[in-house]
Amino acid sequence: MQELCLSTNAIEVLKRRYLRRNEDGEIVETPEEMLRRVARAIAEVDANYGARPSEIDALSEEFYRLMKDLLFLPNSPTLMNAGTELGQLSACFVLPVEDSMEGIFDAVKYAALIHKSGGGTGFSFSRLRPKGDVVGSTRGVSSGPVSFMEVFDSATEAVKQGGRRRGANMGLLRVDHPDIVEFITCKDNINRFTNFNISVGLTEEFMRALQEGQEFSLINPRTKKAVKCVAPGEIFDLIVHQAWKNGEPGIVFLDRINAGNPTPALGEIEATNPCGEQPLLPFESCNLGSVNLARMVKAGEIDWQLLADTVKNAVHFLDNVVDANRYPLPVIAEKTKGNRKIGLGVMGWADMLVQLGIPYNAPAALTLAEKLMSFIWEEGKKTSCNLARTRGVFPNYEQSIYYPNLPLRNATITTIAPTGSLSIIAGCSSGIEPYFALAFERNILEGTRLKEINPYLRQELERRRLGSDSLEAELIARGKLADIPGIPDDLKKLYVTALELTPEEHIRMQAAFQRYVNNAVSKTVNFPASATEEDVRRVFLFAYELGCKGVTVYRDGSRSGQVLSLHATEKMVVPRGRPQTLTGVTRKIATGCGNLYVTINRDENGNLFEVFTNIGKAGVCAQAQAQAIGRLVSLALRSGVSPGQIIKQLKGLSCQAPVWSKNEKITSCADAIARTLEQELGEKVADERSLEGACPDCGGRLEFQEGCLVCVACGFSKCA
């Protein structure tokens, strides 16, 4: 059997997040042992359905080969936890938020348990009464859904998922909720709701009112009565503006999602998981996995038989995960096993296209996308039907109206989910996204950087004898072939990148895959920095027209403070001017040179803006150095550098006179300034860093793709 072949980057990602460790934090398994652990744990489920030990051994080998050959990988919690004491294998959950104090804090508690076990959570806050509404039990007034989101955000901050994955949430509010305007603008300040993605649930009624120019009613969810009539265009314009400004909120077409709800008798779908691709009923969870399309191309053609065999084994694998899973709550186990939803998707789509010689934005790519996903859907259904014949249909099948006369083991089969870390392990492009950049650098050791060039492009450049150090340098700087002298036009056309595509081309690709996906598609529509609000509005309406279930957009550089965008090397950074009035605080901290007074001022949006320092009883040299550090920190903040990155550079620097202050060692004035900044930010440093362009794990570049910020170098994902 061929050995497992992984890239250096894949091995680093596995070491950082996936491989088992002992109590001392030491890695105690190899990548091969991890895959065998997972394969065995999932294969053993067949014993529940009468499989003999020899059959289980054979199935374990088949599942191992499936993953070892990088044909398919399950979602991260399955790789991390299958065959371990934790045993929680689902990636995503949806929890209800009831309109009572007990219901709200039950949801907070349940979310904490899920985050601890390695899952992400989605919530609809649409049932909560609006701000200012009566609270009968206390004769007081409600603070509204946005204020309670703060509680969820703080709870998530306190829990690190499974020790290896960060907490992530989706917050959704219906467009007809009276607090919708407050919700749409709730992430204006980048330091708020750092553990949330947010989406507005648009209804068919709202879209009709928008198209017809009619008034639209906002409904109090407690009384079910209209409380206000609004112009839908004003609400839509605000959504567009905020999405243009910083990428949020996304939009979800709720009625369209519920039109595809396979079990409407069990309830209405109100929310999705953190990246929006998995709509679920309250208390449902879903396990996901992805076929590596890059491995399905042989001699320039798609190997359809290999793809069919891979889908068959992957559906069997994912159905077994439903049984192997140790759910964090009994009610989640009940709901999940009742519908047995799985989500088989794809990764490596951009790699498949370049191997076939098809540009991402060519009509042939759209045709192939539909053909490919239709094939996966049909093969998936076939396998689910075969499993149903031997194991039985999903328990709630009789209440399903989505599949009349089609016995299925699983209520849903296909989903296209984010594959940030998985695609690095598999050595392929992410999901159905185009290439964001054709080359980048990553840190592998302190001070050592490794150049990563798209392997298909590198091979083609070498074949044409075009490769050179200067070309690599240009690729690293630009990330694309356009405007690089000496590159043939056919290569520029084939290796098109995300920001070279029109937004409409992004949406057409999403819609092509959506036609044969039960659940939804995680994809980001990337805009250049120069895009207008009208461009965003047009894409939102186009997504609705083409039948998408939701859409996420991102305009390059639009997140406040983002400094590492694709074209960062081509831009001159100009510090912001200082307003006449700023507000701030002064903190005193002991150093080896005496008491250091650090004044930190914030701008009108509450973001850190400048730092002043003063040292009592210190010499001129120490005064000058502290003042210089303050000026440079201020310059960096005003130029959009993340405070988290500044802290990372200064914290721990040592001088000859360290001191102890308030039970912590202050190693220098620079260290004192870093710790003061950290205190001012509170415990949100890591998330604040991740929002502003630099990976908090490795310092690499973050890209907005598949509905979330991900690191191209190490696989870090804000949405985990």
Residue 402: CA atoms inside 13 Å, Cβ hemisphere, count? Answer: 23
pLDDT exceeds 50 at position 49:
yes
The phi and psi torsions of 185 (rounded to 5 degrees) equal -100, 10
Say which DSSP state 416 is in: B
Query: Token pair of 90, please?
Result: 């689902």
What are the counts of helices (DSSP H) followed by strands (DSSP E) for the chain? 24, 29
Active site residues: 273, 275, 277
The mean pLDDT value for 423-427 works out to: 95
Task: State percent of the chain over pLDDT 90.
Answer: 65
pLDDT > 50? residue 536: yes
Question: Average pLDDT of the chain?
Answer: 89
CA distance 603 to 610: 9
Query: What are the b/e assignments for 599-612, b being 16+ CB within 10 Å?
Result: ebbbbeeebbbbbb
Predicted confidence (pLDDT) per residue in 359-393, tens digit: 999 999 999 999 999 999 999 999 999 999 999 99
CA distances from 430 to 295, 351, 719 (A): 14, 9, 15
Percentage, residues of the chain above pLDDT 70: 90
Contact 414, 516 (CB under 8 A): yes
pLDDT at 565: 38
The crossing angle, in degrees rounded to 10, of helices 669-681 and 620-638 is 40
Taking the C-alpha atoms of residue 692 and residue 704, their distance in angstroms, rounded to an integer, is: 11
Instruction: List phi, psi (to 5°) of 588.
Output: -105, 135
Q: Are strands 279-280 and 271-272 parallel, antiparallel or unpaired?
A: antiparallel
- Identify the top-confidence range among 22-31, 588-597, 692-701: 22-31
- Is the whole-model pTM more than 0.85? no
User: Of 39, 595, 608, whose CA–CA distance to 324 is shortest?
Assistant: 39
Edge-to-edge strands of the sheet including 583-591?
583-591, 594-602, 608-615
d(CA 35, CA 525): 34
Stretch 209-237: mean pLDDT, rounded?
A: 97
3-state secondary structure of 217: strand
Contacts of 469 (CB under 8 A, 6+ apart): none
Contact yes or no for 549/415 (Cβ under 8 A): no
Q: Which of 84-93, 335-344, 623-632, 658-667 has the lowest mean pLDDT?
A: 658-667
Residue 624: band (very low, low, confident or very high) from pLDDT cuts 50, 70, 90? confident
Is the predicted pLDDT of residue 85 greater than 90, yes or no? yes
CA dist 97 and 101 (Å) reads: 10
List, for residues 471-525, the tens digit of each pLDDT value.
888 888 888 999 898 899 999 999 999 999 999 999 999 999 999 999 999 999 9
Would the pLDDT of 222 be above 50? yes
Structure letter (DSSP) for residue 405: T
Closest C-alpha among 187, 196, 206 to residue 253: 206
Cβ atoms of residues 437 and 480 within 8 Å:
yes
**Confidence band for 251, pLDDT divided at 50, 70 and 90:** very high
Q: What is the pLDDT of residue 68?
A: 97
Place of tokens 């994955």: 165
Contact present, 517 and 416 (Cβ < 8 Å): yes
Weakest-pLDDT range from 199-203, 432-436, 576-580, 679-683: 679-683
The model's pLDDT over 7-48, given as tens digits with 9 standing for 90+, comes to 988 998 999 889 999 998 899 999 999 999 999 999 999 999
Among the ranges 156-170, 363-377, 593-607, 642-656, which has the highest mean pLDDT value? Answer: 363-377
164, burial (CB in 10 Å: exposed 0-12, middle 13-18, buried 19+)? middle
pLDDT-based confidence at residue 606 (cuts at 50, 70, 90): confident
